[in-house]
Amino acid sequence: MRRALAIAIVLVGSIGCGRGGGRPPLAAGGPVAPGVAVAPVALTQAEAEAALLASPAWRVDATIRATGQFTADLEATAIVAVGNRARLRARGTFLGQPAAIDWVSDGTVTSTGGAAPPATGEAIAIGIARMGLLHNLVRAMNGAGPDHAEGGAAAWVEVVGPRPLAADRVAFGLRVDGEDAADVELTLAAPGPVMTARRITVRFPGGEMTVEETYRFTLAYTPAADDFAAPPPP
């Protein structure tokens, strides 16, 4: 419960299934005979995560809703490119108050004045693939960069007990710092595959928090000239 409450306070977004092997073959023992139905190949979070990590530049536009003891209503964008360049941006409300988030790394320095961490892109990719986007947005709102941007994100947040619900949907548990924290459902789509939606439920002594995120990914994104420019002063 202690870990769940800690995650609720910083509002972990959500998580996908853990790393795994490639897709299983469509059939064993040779070609499939004409007219024989073949079960659809299940999409996996591991493939979606790998696609993000392999992409030289990607973008996601997201809608985020959190209900329960902690609330959020945000429209957000994340852009990541090679060379530790990244941007996290969102507008809406958080805990019932107006929120405007704009964190940038140009590959050398960040908008908060520190040096760009060496694993910035990896941390954001693993973060959204396993935990969702809200967690790192809240960190940015509080003046911090992506969680574990110095390295080690993959060991810090883990997926446990992944199980398919349908060809495009999986369920799993979330473990953070070695402690069980939440339950998640993730929806994916081909090609890519890419994540399209997720729902996480975090339970703690006073009740529950539910976070829903929907995504529109561009895996082969061409960054604009100002994507990683420092935001204007407030």
Residue-wise pLDDT for 107-159, tens only, equals 999 999 899 999 999 999 999 999 999 999 999 999 999 999 999 999 999 99
**Integer Cα distance of 86 and 102 in angstroms:** 11
In angstroms, what CA-CA distances link 32 with 10, 28, 179?
Answer: 50, 9, 44
Question: E strands of the chain, at which residues?
Answer: 57-68, 72-81, 85-94, 97-106, 157-166, 169-176, 179-189, 194-204, 207-218
Query: Could you tell me the pLDDT band of residue 25, with boundaries at 50, 70 and 90?
Result: very low
Residue-wise pLDDT for 167-201, tens only, equals 999 999 999 999 888 899 999 999 989 999 999 99
Q: Which domain holds residue 94?
A: 2-19+42-218
Residue 40 has a pLDDT of 55
User: Does any domain span residue 27?
Assistant: no
Q: Residue 141 carries which DSSP code?
A: H
Phi first, then psi, for residue 112 (nearest 5°) are -90, 0
The kind and range of the H/E element at 123 are helix 120-126
For residue 102, give both structure tokens. 């704009």
CA nearest neighbour of 154 among 53, 84, 7: 53
The CATH code of the domain that includes 74 is 2.50.20
Predicted TM-score (pTM) of the model is 0.83
For residue 22, give both structure tokens. 């490639």
Residues in the chain: 234
Mean pLDDT of 38-65: 88
Residue 34 has a pLDDT of 44
In angstroms, what CA-CA distances link 217 with 36, 63, 144?
Answer: 34, 12, 24
* Residue 75 identity: E
User: Does any domain span residue 35?
Assistant: no
176-206 in b/e form (b: 16+ CB < 10 A) is beeeebbbbbbbbeeebbbbbbbbbebbbee
Q: 10 Å Cβ neighbour count for 28?
A: 6
**Integer Cα distance of 32 and 42 in angstroms:** 18
User: Does any domain span residue 204?
Assistant: yes
User: Does any domain span residue 195?
Assistant: yes
Mean pLDDT of all residues belonging to the chain: 84
Split into its structural domains, the chain has a count of 1
User: Does any domain span residue 46?
Assistant: yes
User: Does any domain span residue 197?
Assistant: yes
